[in-house]
Structure 1
Amino acid sequence: MKKIFVLDTNVLLQDPNAIYAFEDNEVVIPATVLEEIDTKKRNADELGRNARQISRMLDGLRTQGRLFEGIPLPSGGKLKVELNHRSFAKLQETFAESSNDNRILAVALNYHMEEQEKAEPRPVAIVSKDMLVRIKADVLGLTAQDYLTDRIVNMPDMYTGYLTILAHPAVIDEFYTYRTLNVSSLNLAYPLHPHEFVILKDEMGTSKSALLKLNADGKKLEPLFLSNDPIWGIGARNAQQRMALELLLNDDIPIVTLTGKAGTGKTLLTLAAGLMKVEDERKYKKLLIARPVVPMGKDIGYLPGEKDEKLRPWMQPIYDNLEFLFDTKKPGDIEKILAGLGSIQVEALTYIRGRSIPGQFIIIDEAQNLSKHEIKTIVSRVGENSKIVLLGDPDQIDHPYLDASSNGLTYVVERFKDQNISGHITLERGERSHLAQLAADLL
Structure 2
Amino acid sequence: MPTSTSGKQASVKKDKPKRSSTTPKSSSATPQATKTKTKKKATTPNPKTTSTKAVVKRTTKPSKKAINTSKVFVLDTSVLLYDSEAVRNFQEHDVAIPITVLEELDTFKKGNSVTNLHARELIRYLDKISGDNKMMREWIPLNGRSSGRIKVVTEDGGNGLDANKAFGSAKNDHRILNAALRLKETEVGRRVILVSKDINLRLKARAMDLEAEDYETVRVKDIDHLYRGRTTLELTDPTPIQELYAHGSIPADAVLTEPAIKNHYYLLKHNSASALATYGHDSGSLELLHKMTAYGVVPRNAEQTFALHAVLNPKVPLVTITGAAGTGKTLLALAGALEQRSEYRQIYLARPIVPLSNRDLGYLPGDVKSKIDPYMQPLWDNLSIIKNQFSESSKQFKKIDEMVQSEKLTIVPLAYIRGRSLSNVIFIIDEAQNLTPHEIKTIITRAGEQTKIIFTGDIFQIDTPYLDAESNGLSYLVDRLADSDLYAHVGLEKGERSQLANVASTLL
TM-score, normalised with respect to structure 2: 0.76
Q: 1:139: how far off?
A: 2.0
1:316 aligns with 2:377: yes
1:227 aligns with 2:286: no
Counterpart position of 2:453: 388
With over 3 angstroms needed to count, the CA separation of the structure-2 counterparts of 1:231 and 1:58, relative to structure 1, is: closer
Counterpart position of 1:180: 249
SS of the equivalent of 1:94 reads helix
SS of the equivalent of 2:166 reads coil
Amino acid across the alignment from 1:236: P
Looking at structure 1, the residues matched to 358 and 164 of structure 2 have their Cα atoms a distance apart, in angstroms, of 38
Counterpart position of 1:139: 207
Counterpart position of 1:100: 172
With over 3 angstroms needed to count, the CA separation of the structure-2 counterparts of 1:181 and 1:303, relative to structure 1, is: same
Report if aligned partners of 2:155, 2:180 keep a CA contact under 8 Å in 1.
no
Counterpart position of 1:270: 333
Report if aligned partners of 2:352, 2:432 keep a CA contact under 8 Å in 1.
yes
Q: Comparing 172-181 with 159-168, which one deviates more in the overlay?
A: 172-181
With over 3 angstroms needed to count, the CA separation of the structure-2 counterparts of 1:3 and 1:382, relative to structure 1, is: closer
Q: 1:329: how far off?
A: 9.0
With over 3 angstroms needed to count, the CA separation of the structure-2 counterparts of 1:244 and 1:96, relative to structure 1, is: same
Percent identical across equivalent pairs?
A: 42
Report if aligned partners of 2:141, 2:148 keep a CA contact under 8 Å in 1.
yes
With over 3 angstroms needed to count, the CA separation of the structure-2 counterparts of 1:351 and 1:329, relative to structure 1, is: farther
Match of 2:219 among 142, 146, 151: 151
With over 3 angstroms needed to count, the CA separation of the structure-2 counterparts of 1:49 and 1:342, relative to structure 1, is: closer
Q: 1:341: how far off?
A: 6.5
CA deviation digits over 1:168-200, x for unaligned, max 9? 2244445445442222233533x3222111123
Report if aligned partners of 1:164, 1:198 keep a CA contact under 8 Å in 2.
yes
Looking at structure 1, the residues matched to 183 and 233 of structure 2 have their Cα atoms a distance apart, in angstroms, of 54
Looking at structure 2, the residues matched to 66 and 354 of structure 1 have their Cα atoms a distance apart, in angstroms, of 34
Amino acid across the alignment from 2:208: L
CA deviation digits over 1:76-125, x for unaligned, max 9? 4332211264468533453121111111112223444566xx6xx32222
Counterpart position of 1:53: 121
Q: Comparing 84-93 with 231-240, which one deviates more in the overlay?
A: 84-93
Report if aligned partners of 1:322, 1:334 keep a CA contact under 8 Å in 2.
no
Looking at structure 1, the residues matched to 448 and 164 of structure 2 have their Cα atoms a distance apart, in angstroms, of 57
With over 3 angstroms needed to count, the CA separation of the structure-2 counterparts of 1:354 and 1:91, relative to structure 1, is: closer
With over 3 angstroms needed to count, the CA separation of the structure-2 counterparts of 1:218 and 1:437, relative to structure 1, is: farther
Q: Comparing 165-174 with 250-259, which one deviates more in the overlay?
A: 165-174
Counterpart position of 1:22: 90
1:78 aligns with 2:149: yes
Q: 1:49: how far off?
A: 1.7
With over 3 angstroms needed to count, the CA separation of the structure-2 counterparts of 1:430 and 1:25, relative to structure 1, is: same
> Unpaired segments of 5 or more residues in structure 1?
none
Counterpart position of 1:130: 198
Amino acid across the alignment from 2:383: L
SS of the equivalent of 1:5 reads strand
TM-score, normalised with respect to structure 1: 0.86
Counterpart position of 1:285: 345
Report if aligned partners of 1:368, 1:397 keep a CA contact under 8 Å in 2.
yes
With over 3 angstroms needed to count, the CA separation of the structure-2 counterparts of 1:108 and 1:233, relative to structure 1, is: same
Q: How does 1:372-411 map to 2 (within 5 A)?
A: 372-411=437-476
Report if aligned partners of 1:192, 1:218 keep a CA contact under 8 Å in 2.
no
Looking at structure 2, the residues matched to 103 and 378 of structure 1 have their Cα atoms a distance apart, in angstroms, of 36
Report if aligned partners of 1:270, 1:363 keep a CA contact under 8 Å in 2.
yes
Question: Which protein shows a greater Rg?
Answer: 2
Q: 1:217: how far off?
A: 1.4
Q: 1:240: how far off?
A: 0.9
Q: Comparing 264-273 with 367-376, which one deviates more in the overlay?
A: 367-376
Match of 1:240 among 267, 286, 303: 303
With over 3 angstroms needed to count, the CA separation of the structure-2 counterparts of 1:437 and 1:369, relative to structure 1, is: same
With over 3 angstroms needed to count, the CA separation of the structure-2 counterparts of 1:261 and 1:134, relative to structure 1, is: same
Report if aligned partners of 2:303, 2:490 keep a CA contact under 8 Å in 1.
yes
Amino acid across the alignment from 1:277: Q
Looking at structure 1, the residues matched to 138 and 360 of structure 2 have their Cα atoms a distance apart, in angstroms, of 40
Q: 1:143: how far off?
A: 1.6
SS of the equivalent of 2:412 reads strand
Amino acid across the alignment from 1:265: G
Structure showing the higher helix proportion among its residues: 1
Looking at structure 1, the residues matched to 407 and 125 of structure 2 have their Cα atoms a distance apart, in angstroms, of 46
The alignment's C-alpha RMSD in Å is 3.0
Looking at structure 2, the residues matched to 17 and 239 of structure 1 have their Cα atoms a distance apart, in angstroms, of 41
Report if aligned partners of 1:323, 1:334 keep a CA contact under 8 Å in 2.
no
1:41 aligns with 2:41: no
Report if aligned partners of 2:316, 2:487 keep a CA contact under 8 Å in 1.
yes
Q: 1:392: how far off?
A: 1.6
CA deviation digits over 1:137-170, x for unaligned, max 9? 2222322110101225532232221122333224
CA deviation digits over 1:38-73, x for unaligned, max 9? 221223321122112222222222247432121233
Structure possessing the higher relative contact order (Cα contacts under 8 Å, 6 or more residues apart) = 1
With over 3 angstroms needed to count, the CA separation of the structure-2 counterparts of 1:423 and 1:336, relative to structure 1, is: closer
